[in-house]
């Protein structure tokens, strides 16, 4: 163990760490697991409200396991990365049935649960049971890379091995949970990605990045994220007091969430209602329809792709045969269905005027 690093970190945690979160200090492995799954790919400030709503709705893993899937997805609505929610449901059912509602209390058993990787398993094991497993998340990578001046890419095979061994070496084995929380807090509030508060850092006297002026260069990533752009045109088909929706079931974004009638284009559509009507005719066949409104442009940035699109409200008399697999739902109850954030953004601003690209 590097005693200086660990000692200074634990001293800072005891005397100066004021970071507060609703799950901090929690010992119930179910609630820790819940918070960790919510916080995957989600900022803490956004995750707090979701965590509190989930704990209120499902205080125990058994109650989560018994809940209708639609209710869980609805509560998750807006968090994104819906595979997390799908795994949450599956794991809750497994624990309730196979483990009689008792959350596993050893690292390997926790790691074997669906949707749980080494980081989450270490977090649950150390926070709930004080087991000596070091967590390694973005905050930890950043702190260690800067403190030791490590330029090995954090997303490389060699980098993952190096940081895993180093993190485990630094871990305070007697107070594993406190140590893990402290190093993550240090990365979140002091050793921030941009504009770190180096003057307030307990490690400033020995930080290699501060000494050599390489804070902005560390940590290093090997792979550049390749992003693509997709164009979604949603047709909201009104039939009397209902609209047509369907659940997305393919292995794509927003799996298990609902959507309106979708036309995915290869690029920007040429402006003009004539072009738009030709698309509607392909969707509805020969059935008469009326275009009621065209929304403003909506954008959503996902990790690997950007979604750009518009919403077109149309009215027709009866359900078109080509859309027989869609579900006709009452307009008044539309918010009972779980939609992706891209669609709820439109629902929330439904009457905002716009034009076709």
Helix, strand or coil for residue 156?
coil
User: Active site includes 52?
Assistant: no
In whole angstroms, how far apart are CA 235 and each of 36, 60, 100, 299? 36, 40, 46, 16
Residues 6 or more apart whose Cβ sits within 8 Å of residue 216: none
Helices 69-76 & 83-98 angle (0-180, nearest 10): 140
- The one-character DSSP state at 16 is T
In whole angstroms, how far apart are CA 122 and each of 186, 208, 219? 18, 27, 22
Taken in order 214, 220, 226, 232, is the CA torsion positive or negative?
negative
CB 356 within 8 A of CB 269: yes
DSSP string, 198-262: GGG-TTTTT-HHHHHT-GGG-S--SPPPP-EEEEEEEEEEEETTEEEEEE--SSSTTTT-EE-EE
Catalytic residue among 8, 26, 36, 264: 36
CB 310 within 8 A of CB 352: no
Q: Return the H-helix or E-strand segment holding 327.
A: strand 327-330
Which residues are part of the catalytic machinery?
36
């Amino acid at each position: 163990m590097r005693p200086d690093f660990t000692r200074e970190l634990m001293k800072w945690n005891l005397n100066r760490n004021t970071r507060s979160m609703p799950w901090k200090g929690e010992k119930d492995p179910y609630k820790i697991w819940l918070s960790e799954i919510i916080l995957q790919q989600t900022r803490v400030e956004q995750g707090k409200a979701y965590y509190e709503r989930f704990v209120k709705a499902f205080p125990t893993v058994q109650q989560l396991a018994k809940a209708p899937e639609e209710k869980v997805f609805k509560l998750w609505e807006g968090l994104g990365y819906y595979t997390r929610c799908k795994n949450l449901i599956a794991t809750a059912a497994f624990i309730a049935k196979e483990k009689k509602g008792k959350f596993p209390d050893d690292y390997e058993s926790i790691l074997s649960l669906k949707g749980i990787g080494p980081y989450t398993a270490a977090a649950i094991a150390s926070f709930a049971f004080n087991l000596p497993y070091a967590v390694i998340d973005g905050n930890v990578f950043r702190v260690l890379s800067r403190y030791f001046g490590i330029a090995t890419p954090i997303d490389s095979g060699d980098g993952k091995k190096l940081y895993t061994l180093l993190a485990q070496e630094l871990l305070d084995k007697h107070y594993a949970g406190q140590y893990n929380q402290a190093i993550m807090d240090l990365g979140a509030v002091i050793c921030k990605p941009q504009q770190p508060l180096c003057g307030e850092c307990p490690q400033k006297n020995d930080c290699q990045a501060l000494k050599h002026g390489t804070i902005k260069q560390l940590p290093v990533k090997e792979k550049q994220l390749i992003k693509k752009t997709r164009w979604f045109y949603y047709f909201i088909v009104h039939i009397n007091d209902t609209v047509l929706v369907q659940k997305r079931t393919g292995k794509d974004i927003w799996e298990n969430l609902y959507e309106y009638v979708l036309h995915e284009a290869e690029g920007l559509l040429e402006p003009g209602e004539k072009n738009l009507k030709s698309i509607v005719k392909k969707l509805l066949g020969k059935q008469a329809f009326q275009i009621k409104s065209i929304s403003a442009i909506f954008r959503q940035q996902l990790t690997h792709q950007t979604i750009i699109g518009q919403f077109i409200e149309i009215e027709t008399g009866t359900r078109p045969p080509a859309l027989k697999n869609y579900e006709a739902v009452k307009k008044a109850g539309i918010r009972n269905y779980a939609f992706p954030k891209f669609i709820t953004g439109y629902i929330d601003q439904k009457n905002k005027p716009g034009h076709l690209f």
